[in-house]
Amino acid sequence: MDRTEWFLGLIVFFLASIVYVIGEGDSTPMIIVIPLMITLYGLPIYLVINSFADKISN
């Protein structure tokens, strides 16, 4: 896996975190919270799985 993917993944993760904190969680509409939570919890899992897949294939 290229370091660029990790860097861009961290940017997305931190931006999603900022949006959640600024939105104060309780008052944020569900249409925003659901994709945000998928991004916050799914991105680290995706990066780890993709990293292992790259190591196995090489």
Overall domain count for the chain: 1
Q: Specify the pTM.
A: 0.57
Domain that holds residue 32: 3-57
How big is the chain by its Cα radius of gyration, in Å? 14
Task: Return all residues near 11 (Cβ < 8 A) that are at least 6 apart.
Answer: none
Task: Return all residues near 35 (Cβ < 8 A) that are at least 6 apart.
Answer: none
Q: Which long-range contacts (CB under 8 A, 24 or more apart) does 14-21 make?
A: 16/40, 16/43
pLDDT (tens place) for every residue of the chain, 58 residues total: 567 877 887 788 788 777 777 766 567 777 777 877 888 888 888 888 988 988 898 7
46's enclosing H/E stretch is helix 30-57
